[in-house]
Amino acid sequence: MAKEQLKIFTTKKELSNYLDFNRRNSKTVGFVPTMGALHDGHFSLIKLAAKKSDIIVCSIFVNPTQFNDPKDLEKYPRPIEEDIRKLKLSSCNVLFLPETAEMYSTEEKWHADLGEIENALEGQYRIGHYQGVTQIVKKLFDTVQADFAFFGQKDYQQFCVIQKMVRLFNIPIKLILCPTVREKTGLAMSSRNIYLSENQLKNALKLSEVLELTKRNFKLKSLEQLKTEAFSILTKDDDIKPDYFEICTMDDLKPATMKDKPLIALVAAYVGTTRLIDNIILN
């Protein structure tokens, strides 16, 4: 059976009308929010969405309120024609492709009480980032009104923050965390990987390597030893500048003190001028 043509909507009203019609016909909706520059990690989310939902919606919107650095926003990759071509070959049914003016009014204020998790890890280095993330995700959730939303484990803190936001506003949606998709080398797939030179791609492997090493040695060494060893490896190369390597409890991302809870190791580092993040579940 031939795949239905990908439907593209640029306004919230058009999208809502289409999805409302499908919901009235008892169709479930799965949602994959993205900022474009789509790679196999994104398409793994779409595949998982297709197993749980009748209609799969993917959004592409480079959200200005979550960027601390205007230059980072300006240079963020936007290969929209290529993204659309790939989506047409996937299980995705609907692409939501709004302009900034469609999502934001000129005098708009937002603050969600996200608690301590907002200022941990990524929050220390990207002040206000998660306010911007929750601001746009709340708008998208309100528009799509999906049954399920799918997120990659690579952005684990983002998943936790969105989970908090969903509870805060009592949004009736089920969030599904999906495994990180990696290159054959082990490098976590990211839209930012295109900025890496051939040599930097090799250096970037240190991030996944220290995570794997930490997992292998988890039962053999103390938490402090594991962190010290990871930092030592990451700082050996002049081209890598780590922001953090931390072992945290999975439920609230507080620094772990004991090994009796589910724990996750998270790392963020600059490789050259490109900032990458990754993580691994330890137990």
Arithmetic mean of pLDDT, 249-254 = 96
Arithmetic mean of pLDDT, 92-116 = 95
CA–CA separation, 249 and 264 (whole Å): 6
Nearest residue to 246 (alpha-carbon basis) of 156, 143, 127: 156
What pLDDT is recorded for position 239? Answer: 92
Domains of the chain: 7-178 (3.40.50.620), 191-278 (3.30.1300.10)
Arithmetic mean of pLDDT, 224-233 = 97
What pLDDT is recorded for position 3? Answer: 62
Strands 7-9 and 94-96: parallel
Arithmetic mean of pLDDT, 147-168 = 98
In this structure, what token pair is assigned to residue 117?
């998790």
Q: What is the mean pLDDT of the chain?
A: 96
The yes-or-no verdict on residue 156 having pLDDT over 70 is: yes
Q: Report residue 7: phi and psi, to 5°.
A: -95, 135
What pLDDT is recorded for position 2? Answer: 47
Arithmetic mean of pLDDT, 29-56 = 98
Helices 156-168 & 129-144 angle (0-180, nearest 10): 60
The yes-or-no verdict on residue 108 having pLDDT over 90 is: no
Arithmetic mean of pLDDT, 158-165 = 98
Percent of the chain residues topping a pLDDT of 70: 99
Nearest residue to 177 (alpha-carbon basis) of 193, 191, 166: 166
3-state secondary structure of 264: strand
Q: Report residue 54: phi and psi, to 5°.
A: -85, -40
In this structure, what token pair is assigned to residue 228?
């010290």
Q: Which residues are catalytic?
A: 42
Arithmetic mean of pLDDT, 188-208 = 96
pLDDT band, very low/low/confident/very high, at 116 (cuts 50, 70, 90):
very high
Single pTM value for the model: 0.95
CA–CA separation, 98 and 138 (whole Å): 15
Which string of DSSP letters, residue by residue, matches 20-82?
A: HHHHHTT--EEEEEE-S---HHHHHHHHHHHHH-SEEEEEE---GGG-S-HHHHHHS---HHH
What pLDDT is recorded for position 28? Answer: 98
H runs (alpha helix) in the chain: 12-24, 40-52, 70-75, 80-88, 100-103, 122-125, 129-144, 156-168, 198-216, 223-234
Nearest residue to 281 (alpha-carbon basis) of 205, 185, 177: 177
Helices 12-24 & 129-144 angle (0-180, nearest 10): 50
Query: Comparing 60-74, 137-151, 268-282, which segment has the lowest mean pLDDT?
Result: 60-74
Arithmetic mean of pLDDT, 260-267 = 96
The yes-or-no verdict on residue 187 having pLDDT over 60 is: yes
